[in-house]
Amino acid sequence: MSKKQTPSDFLKQITGKPVLVKLNSGADYRGILMCLDGYMNIALEQTEEYMNGELRNKYGDTLIRGNNVLYISTQKKKDVVLFE
């Protein structure tokens, strides 16, 4: 039988990886999860801000206050197609 994964285990596994952070306002932030604390304050690098699926802005480092976070999910890498 497999071991159950806690939310804390999940967050430790995705640190340093691409994530999607959905805010209560409806905005999406996509970037590399660098760290978070017990209040769910989140530090992202290489952050992109999306509203209604449309890219609004790009930031280097971003700090998101935890009480604004609706959820965090892993972000799959985009497929890159090269044309010759």
**Structure letter (DSSP) for residue 52:** T
What's the pLDDT at 25?
94
Q: What pTM was computed for the model? A: 0.81
> pLDDT per residue over 38-58, tens digit each?
899 999 999 999 999 999 999
What's the pLDDT at 4?
83
Phi, psi (degrees; rounded to nearest 5) at 72: -125, 135
> pLDDT per residue over 16-39, tens digit each?
999 999 999 999 999 999 999 989
Closest by CA to 40, choosing from 66, 70, 4, is 66
